[in-house]
């Protein structure tokens, strides 16, 4: 029983890590598009943002794979699922913020 509980906790932690990584990745993309176009060097802003966001995502997936997954594929799959599910959440939150700003 405790082993099953630990396994379930690990899988939940992997999914939450994926949600957090996705929120950072897609939220950072939204922020970059909003701020990057008005910067003096937009190409540098977009490139630096991409490298930073990808580095954080790769490091996070690596952490999940080595710490939570311990050489199994299920936690990585759950992390990927959380990452992908973060996109519509970020879209919904950023659309609300954008609509509020444009309405004012």
From first to last of its 104 residues, the chain has per-residue pLDDT tens of 577 776 788 889 999 999 999 999 999 999 999 998 898 999 999 999 999 999 999 999 999 999 887 778 899 999 999 999 999 999 999 887 666 666 65
Domain hosting 62: range is 28-33+41-97
Q: How far apart are CA 20 and CA 12, in angstroms?
A: 12
| pLDDT given at position 77 | 94
In a domain, 54, yes or no: yes
In a domain, 88, yes or no: yes
Mutual angle of helices 74-103 and 42-63, in 10-degree steps: 140
| pLDDT given at position 98 | 61
In a domain, 12, yes or no: no
What is this structure's pTM?
0.86
In a domain, 103, yes or no: no
Q: How far apart are CA 97 and CA 100, in angstroms?
A: 5
Indicate the number of domains in the chain.
1
């Amino acid at each position: 029983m405790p082993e099953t509980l630990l396994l379930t906790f690990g899988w939940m932690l992997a999914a939450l890590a994926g949600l957090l990584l996705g929120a950072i990745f897609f939220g950072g993309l939204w922020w970059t598009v909003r701020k990057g176009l008005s910067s003096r060097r937009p190409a540098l802003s977009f490139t630096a943002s991409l490298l930073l966001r990808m580095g954080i995502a790769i490091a996070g997936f690596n952490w999940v794979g080595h710490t939570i997954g311990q050489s199994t594929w299920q936690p990585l799959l759950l992390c990927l699922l959380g990452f992908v599910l973060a996109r519509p959440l970020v879209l919904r939150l950023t659309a609300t913020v954008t609509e509020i700003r444009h309405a004012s």
